[in-house]
Amino acid sequence: MNGSIAGLFASPNGGVPKPQVQQLQITADGCIGDFQRDKKHHGGTQRAVCLFSEEVIAALQEEGHPIFPGSVGENILLREVDWKKIKVGSQLFFEQLVLEVTSDAPPCKTIGDSFIDGKFTSISAKIKPNWTRWYAKVISEGQVNVDENVSIN
């Protein structure tokens, strides 16, 4: 399965929405220049990177949600990836970087503004497993750039 990077996002002060950046340097500890205020639920080696789908955002927008790229805290927004096939253990291979999916990224009230009536559970793995964000750990550190290709297995 192949796709590409639709957007990259990092927030030096934490919170959402995360501003778009053209490239990200990613280490085992996470994305350089991206800060998480709530370290109990975000960040760390097992949640170093948050992944999301451009197509899921488009589907949510079609339902009327005011979601947009970066608004739900993702670091890497992917396009043309069959999101239904992503699962714990999936590996993502970029030009320099290799990631492995470790868990879904449970939504919380801080992203409520991206959803009609604050219904952030619209991307909960328990409710809509094919629309969830994913956390990943870093297998091989490196830099990623917007429009870079990714292969997944």
pLDDT of residue 36: 81
86 has a pLDDT exceeding 90: yes
User: What domains lie within the chain, and their CATH numbers?
Assistant: 2-152 (2.40.33.20)
| Distance between CA atoms of residues 29 and 47, nearest Å | 8
The secondary structure of residue 56, as a DSSP letter, is: H
Tell me the per-residue pLDDT of 33-74, one tens digit each, with 9 for 90 and over.
998 876 666 778 999 999 999 999 999 999 999 999 999 999
Residue 49: what are its φ and ψ, rounded to 5°? -135, 140
b/e burial code for range 20-51 (CB count within 10 A of at least 16 → b): ebeebebeeebbeebbbeeeeebbbeebbbbb
Tell me the per-residue pLDDT of 98-144, one tens digit each, with 9 for 90 and over.
999 999 999 999 999 999 999 999 999 999 999 999 999 999 999 99
pLDDT of residue 41: 65
pLDDT of residue 102: 98
